Amino acid sequence: MKKTMVYLDDDQLLLLKRTAASTKKKMAEVIREALSTHLKKNSKNLDYFSFVGIAKGPRKGKTSEHVEDIIRRVLRSSS
- Whether residue 33 is contained in a domain is answered as yes
* CATH number of domain containing 35: 1.10.1220
- Whether residue 64 is contained in a domain is answered as no
Query: Are 8 and 16 within 8 A, CB to CB?
Result: yes
Query: Are 66 and 44 within 8 A, CB to CB?
Result: no
Could you read off the pLDDT of 35-61 as tens digits, one per residue? 999 888 877 666 666 666 666 666 666
Percentage of residues in the chain having pLDDT higher than 90: 41
- Predicted model pTM: 0.54
Residues 6+ positions from 53 with CB-CB distance below 8 Å: 64, 67
- Whether residue 20 is contained in a domain is answered as yes
- Whether residue 8 is contained in a domain is answered as yes
Percentage of residues in the chain having pLDDT higher than 70: 70
- The boundaries of the domain holding residue 25 are 1-44
- Whether residue 51 is contained in a domain is answered as no
- Whether residue 71 is contained in a domain is answered as no
Q: How many domains does the chain contain in total? A: 1
| Banded pLDDT at 76 (limits 50, 70, 90) | confident
